[in-house]
Structure 1
Amino acid sequence: MTEPHTAVITRLSADFAALSHQFARVSTDLVELDRLLADRRATVPPAPAPQPVAPYWPQPYWPQQRYAPQPVPFRPYPNPPAPKPPKERSEGWIGKLLAVAGVAVTLIGVVLLLVLAAQAGILRPEFRVAAGAVLAGALVGAGWWLHNRPGGRVGAIALVATGTAAAYMDVIAVTTIYEWVSAPVGLIAAAVIAGAGLTLARRWDSQHLGLLVLVPLIALAPIVADGISLLLVGLMLALAAVSLPVQLGRDWIWLHAARISAAVLPLLVALVARYFDGRDDLLLAGACAIAAVIAVVAALILLPGTRNRTALALLTAFGMAPVLSANLAVDRVVASLMAATVAAALLAIVFVGDRLPGVSGVVRHVFASTSAVAALIAVTAAFDGKIAGPVLLAMAVVVAVAGRHDIVARWAAIGFGVVGAAAHLTYLPLDALLEATQTDTAAGISTLVSSVLLAAAAVALVWAWDRAESALWVGAVAVVVYAVTSFTVTAGMLISGDDGGFFAGHMAATIVWIAMAAALFAYAARLPRDDRSLPIGGGLGLVAAAMAKLFLFDLGTLGGIFRVVVFIVVGLILLGMGAGYARLLEKQDKHTVTTATE
């Protein structure tokens, strides 16, 4: 191609212009032809069927005309899209894995320097501590230098994390092993070192650096300190506290998990150790309270800025584990007060959750569940079974009625009711209702109260859960029958501690069963026809149970006047039920028909 490219472009532009003019001319001629044909059809009268075929009008030929080429301005092609950055190589994880392994091995070497070298008498303590400090400073300096080099981010994070953890363990050794500085000074120095490393993690926007600072300390700090002591617990709490401001504005859920673990795991181990030692430790209980405060405050601060609210709420609940296990190290009064405080604090957060940012539905459910568990622990720690049972059953009634629209409240009420019923069964088992059993006044009064509350809890739970479910009502009626029997038998034994009281209690129980059936039939007679099946079924079930008890137990067990009275009274009630229910039912149905016809 010998012509310049501008001449070629000019010639092509002229050709396209000529073609454009030609197409415009053809379009004009077609419009004119259509007009002529329309005029011809309008002047010719319509022919009889079949209509002749319209003649073919050939299109006139117009000779092509040449036009002078017109210059067209040059438009450059758009810039090609910028190339996408190359994806990270799949081998990148190898470097991270090697860096993590290097962190672990180096820190183990520091531990060997500080602990095993001291046990073997290698080097003087001053040299060991100084060597650890120099190594920590060199690692941090090397990491700072490497971070500014291309591709040095992974190595820089590993070096700085190793240096920070080494310095932190150096401070632990100075404070716990050699005792060169006091505990407050050691806590301040450890907090400064950890805060510096975590601040660098925030500056570099690296959650991995924060994890590599916290996680190794959780595993290696107890080895350096030769066990978990109260001072080590304080150091770990300081580490958890100083790591909180670093996470502000960062959605680092794994760093939060490491923070909670740093505070919780040493405390749980210390609580178990104190339990086997059999010693009370109020300072350890105070540390548990501090860990709970850190967990709650961290949750309220971090919830608005995280997308993992469910995980953060569960971690907060895990942070409550030490304070809810404080009864392993302190007496029951202190432990119950601490658990009650946790329950009240979390319940308050649930109530004002709409005003707190980030406290969404799932978070509120987790906090409410934790509050219920804390309340259960508080009651069982404060009271023995004879008092805890009625208290828990009363809580079940209150929570079921007040929180009937909330799923967590209903499950909490079920939990309180089940534990309260289990406590009731421990001091009044089923076999105690089959033979006369002596009971003291305190236990008898507790049984009477818990029997009433057990029946109320069964009814309240079914009413709050699903009042239209017949299977649930069957279970509730069974619980009510047992509660009534335990009440009457216990009352009889309190009034008369011999067989007479036992017989009178069972006689009263059978009569009450029949009376309850009569009440259900009376209630059913006042309902519309379509709504009677549930109460009628319950009444028939109670009648069947009362008749079975009457002939299988009362007839063979009760003696003398009690047997006579129970048969006569039950028979009269059954007669009254039959006559009265039929009359009420007919009257109610007639009233319904009359109202419908009007």
Structure 2
Amino acid sequence: MSAPHHAVVSRLAADFTAMSEQFARVSADLAELDRLLTEQPIAPHPPQAVSAQPHYMPPPVPYMQAAVPTAPYPPPAAYPAQPPPPPIQTPPPPVQPGAERQPKPPRDASWIGKALAIAGVAVTLIGVVFLLVLAAQAGILRPEIRVAAGALLAGALVVIAVRLNARPGGRVGASALAATGIAAAYMDVIAVTSIYHWISAPVGLLIAALVGGGGLTLARRWNSQQLGLLVLVPLIALAPTVTGGVTMLLIAFMLAISAASLLVQLGRDWLWLHAARITASTYPLLIGLVAEYFGDHNAALLAAACGIGALLAIIGALVLLPSTTNRAAMALLTVAGLLPVMSAAVAFEPMVAALMAFGLAAALLALVLVGDRLQGVSLIVRQIWLAASAVSALIAVAVAFDGEIVAPVLLAMAVVITVAGRRDTVARFIAVGFGVIGGLVYLAYAPPTSLVRATELSTPDAVAVLVSSVLVIAAVVATVWSWVGRGLVDSQAVRVLMAALAVAVVYAVTTFTVTAGVLAGGEGGGFFAGHMAATICWIAMAAALFAFAARRDRDDRSLPIAGGLALVAGSMAKLFLFDLGTLDGMFRVAVFIVVGLVLLGMGAGYARLLASQDQQASQDRQQM
């Protein structure tokens, strides 16, 4: 649309330019004609001619045609297109006096009504608690009257809420009234079951589930997350007062309301309500674990309740993840619901707690492995659950095994996770975490002092140290294989990582040889033989690094050569600073001769190999 418009404007501008030039030429010709007529005298006419014929001037058009040159003017399209005139900028209207400030939008005053409604819910429910508990303790009213009054109050509040919701602007007040009535009815059922014992616990739980489910169904029908929160949050805070503390019956009621609230969240993105239902089941379970630690004697029921709570958290996450927009928060809330199982070691026997933690770790790992086929289980969810599975597995290992067995188990897990999860960043970090923790436990049972003084260990501890030493070396190799060469870390980080891992390998080799020597030959000759073997292993590893460097390109030799030189320097330092003064007899002679021969062969062979490779490379370049 804009191109034809500019073309028409350009043609009109060219036409006006041509017309202005023509008018300028006509004006010049008229001025010249006036000058000529003024200079030439006019011949007198006879009177009759003058009177009979008026003075006649030639019309301008023929004269103008005569004055126009013979060459015609070019058509308007031949003239260059003139740019369109700039748009006229109208000045802003003058500011009227007193109109400098724009009127501010009116403040949203709805928060005042919401705050008053929440305060009313809290005060009313506290009054219901006083009616059910304090009045019973003081003997003011008969139990039937107290229970009936609570039920009537709950029903009246719900009926008024339904009527108020149908009126304009009544949603806030209706939600508050309905929440108060539902929570009051729920606590009335708890009181009937736990205080007056009029009905059995299973019947009370069924009635409570119906009351809570009905109230939360009303929240779903009204599409009001606020109503659900006003039902759950006061129950979490006030229900322990009705039951006289956190008891197994209260835990059962909280699990029931948590399960009922899950159903009303289907298809809704109600993250805060999900957080409230997780709190409703987790909070009393954690307090119950602490009470069991101090001798509450409900271990079997509490363990079952912890399992049910974890199952509700996992099922709730799988059901609600497809409809939520914040899946990371949902995954973290799920982990919060699993805390009672992870903390089971506080209250239960080690075997029971370890089995619970192992089961949880296996379940989470299974969900991670099949998560890409589950709707809503995104990458961030799988990563969070994988980390939770690792923590649960770590807790299980620490609880199930004794100290000397923990190190080899964790190091073996680090190797397996490194190999299996080499393509996943979180799995690699988990493997490193297991390796670091296992290495620290390994250091606790094989400290550096055991390498300086001969320390005889028991056979199980010595075997655990030997196995851990081998697994440390395997974990280091697996870590290098999974991290280096994949573009995950820069060159400087690679050098630091290789240096730290080389120190770990050297320490593990030395610990293995010394521990094996002491285990086989005692604190005397066995200790000396172990150190002799350690020094020979150091120089052998240096030779292996030089051989590896010789088979690499010139640009890739710096790192292995640096490692080999560092090992040679360490071997020489150990040889002269420790072995020379510590070893005795043939051990000293043997270590010096072997290390010397290895150094001689390593130097000669490496120089010859490098010369041969460089000569071959030079010939290849000349042929090219």
Please give the range of the TM-score, normalised by the shorter of the 2 chains: 0.7 to 0.9
Tell me which residue corresponds to 1:84. none
| Counterpart among 334, 345, 356 of residue 316 in structure 1 | 334
1:421 aligns with 2:439: yes
The question of whether the paired residues in 2 share the 8 Å contact of 1:452 and 1:483 is answered with yes
Structure 2 unmatched runs, 5+ = 1-11, 23-67, 75-104, 486-490
Tell me which residue corresponds to 2:48. none
The question of whether the paired residues in 2 share the 8 Å contact of 1:280 and 1:331 is answered with no
Tell me which residue corresponds to 1:65. none
Note the 1:126-165 alignment, pairs <5 A: 126-165=144-183
Tell me which residue corresponds to 1:326. 344
| Counterpart among 390, 396, 404 of residue 386 in structure 1 | 404
1:223 aligns with 2:241: yes
Tell me which residue corresponds to 2:265. 247
The question of whether the paired residues in 2 share the 8 Å contact of 1:336 and 1:378 is answered with yes
1:413 offset after TM fit, Å? 0.1
Tell me which residue corresponds to 1:556. 581
1:584 aligns with 2:604: no
The change in CA–CA distance for 1:369 and 1:53 in structure 2 (over 3 A counts) is: farther
The question of whether the paired residues in 2 share the 8 Å contact of 1:191 and 1:238 is answered with yes
| Counterpart among 276, 298, 301 of residue 316 in structure 2 | 298
1:543 offset after TM fit, Å? 1.2
1:177 offset after TM fit, Å? 1.7
Range with bigger deviation, 355-364 or 420-429: 420-429
Could you tell me how far apart the structure 1 residues matched to 2:602 and 2:573 are?
A: 18
Structure 1 unmatched runs, 5+ = 1-26, 38-50, 58-86
Note the 1:258-297 alignment, pairs <5 A: 258-277=276-295, 279=297, 281-297=299-315
Opposite residue 177 of structure 1, the aligned amino acid is I
The change in CA–CA distance for 1:483 and 1:56 in structure 2 (over 3 A counts) is: closer
Tell me which residue corresponds to 1:412. 430
Opposite residue 310 of structure 2, the aligned amino acid is A
The question of whether the paired residues in 2 share the 8 Å contact of 1:272 and 1:328 is answered with yes
Could you tell me how far apart the structure 2 residues matched to 1:435 and 1:553 are?
A: 12
Tell me which residue corresponds to 1:596. 621
Note the 1:198-209 alignment, pairs <5 A: 198-209=216-227
The question of whether the paired residues in 2 share the 8 Å contact of 1:280 and 1:329 is answered with no
1:392 offset after TM fit, Å? 0.8
For residues 520-556 of structure 1, the C-alpha deviation after alignment (integer angstroms, 9 at most, x for no partner) is 0001001111111111111111112222222222222
1:349 offset after TM fit, Å? 1.3
Note the 1:472-483 alignment, pairs <5 A: 472-483=497-508
Tell me which residue corresponds to 1:485. 510
1:473 offset after TM fit, Å? 0.5
1:54 offset after TM fit, Å? 6.5
The question of whether the paired residues in 2 share the 8 Å contact of 1:285 and 1:329 is answered with no
The change in CA–CA distance for 1:280 and 1:576 in structure 2 (over 3 A counts) is: farther
For residues 87-141 of structure 1, the C-alpha deviation after alignment (integer angstroms, 9 at most, x for no partner) is 9851110000110111111111111222222222222222222221111111111
For residues 140-195 of structure 1, the C-alpha deviation after alignment (integer angstroms, 9 at most, x for no partner) is 11111111112111000000001111111111111112222111011101101100
| Counterpart among 191, 208, 223 of residue 209 in structure 2 | 191
Could you tell me how far apart the structure 2 residues matched to 1:428 and 1:121 are?
A: 68
Range with bigger deviation, 317-326 or 110-119: 110-119
For residues 234-272 of structure 1, the C-alpha deviation after alignment (integer angstroms, 9 at most, x for no partner) is 111111111111011111010111111111111011111
Tell me which residue corresponds to 2:550. 525
1:592 offset after TM fit, Å? 2.1
Opposite residue 485 of structure 1, the aligned amino acid is T
Tell me which residue corresponds to 2:35. none
The change in CA–CA distance for 1:205 and 1:357 in structure 2 (over 3 A counts) is: same
1:55 offset after TM fit, Å? 8.3
Could you tell me how far apart the structure 2 residues matched to 1:432 and 1:308 are?
A: 53
1:395 offset after TM fit, Å? 0.8
Range with bigger deviation, 223-232 or 115-124: 115-124
The question of whether the paired residues in 2 share the 8 Å contact of 1:365 and 1:408 is answered with yes
Tell me which residue corresponds to 1:63. none
The question of whether the paired residues in 2 share the 8 Å contact of 1:284 and 1:329 is answered with no
1:93 aligns with 2:111: yes
Tell me which residue corresponds to 1:367. 385
Could you tell me how far apart the structure 1 residues matched to 2:450 and 2:297 are?
A: 39
Opposite residue 545 of structure 1, the aligned amino acid is G
For residues 546-593 of structure 1, the C-alpha deviation after alignment (integer angstroms, 9 at most, x for no partner) is 222222222222222222222221121111111111111111222222
1:125 aligns with 2:143: yes
The change in CA–CA distance for 1:280 and 1:329 in structure 2 (over 3 A counts) is: farther
Could you tell me how far apart the structure 2 residues matched to 1:237 and 1:530 are?
A: 65
Could you tell me how far apart the structure 1 residues matched to 2:298 and 2:132 are?
A: 32
Corresponding residue pairs, total: 526
Range with bigger deviation, 547-556 or 94-103: 547-556
Tell me which residue corresponds to 2:460. 442
The question of whether the paired residues in 2 share the 8 Å contact of 1:517 and 1:543 is answered with yes
1:497 aligns with 2:515: no
Report percent identity of matched pairs: 65
Could you tell me how far apart the structure 2 residues matched to 1:277 and 1:481 are?
A: 49
| Counterpart among 331, 338, 345 of residue 356 in structure 2 | 338
1:516 aligns with 2:534: no
1:128 match: secondary structure: helix
1:53 offset after TM fit, Å? 9.9
Could you tell me how far apart the structure 1 residues matched to 2:599 and 2:259 are?
A: 72
Opposite residue 169 of structure 1, the aligned amino acid is M
Could you tell me how far apart the structure 1 residues matched to 2:459 and 2:386 are?
A: 37
The question of whether the paired residues in 2 share the 8 Å contact of 1:279 and 1:329 is answered with no
Could you tell me how far apart the structure 2 residues matched to 1:522 and 1:303 are?
A: 55
Asked which structure has the greater CA Rg, the reply is 2
Q: CA RMSD in A?
A: 2.3
Could you tell me how far apart the structure 2 residues matched to 1:503 and 1:124 are?
A: 88
1:276 offset after TM fit, Å? 2.5
1:470 aligns with 2:488: no
Tell me which residue corresponds to 2:571. 546
The change in CA–CA distance for 1:136 and 1:486 in structure 2 (over 3 A counts) is: same
The question of whether the paired residues in 2 share the 8 Å contact of 1:237 and 1:263 is answered with yes
Range with bigger deviation, 463-472 or 493-502: 463-472
Could you tell me how far apart the structure 2 residues matched to 1:286 and 1:111 are?
A: 29
1:500 offset after TM fit, Å? 1.5
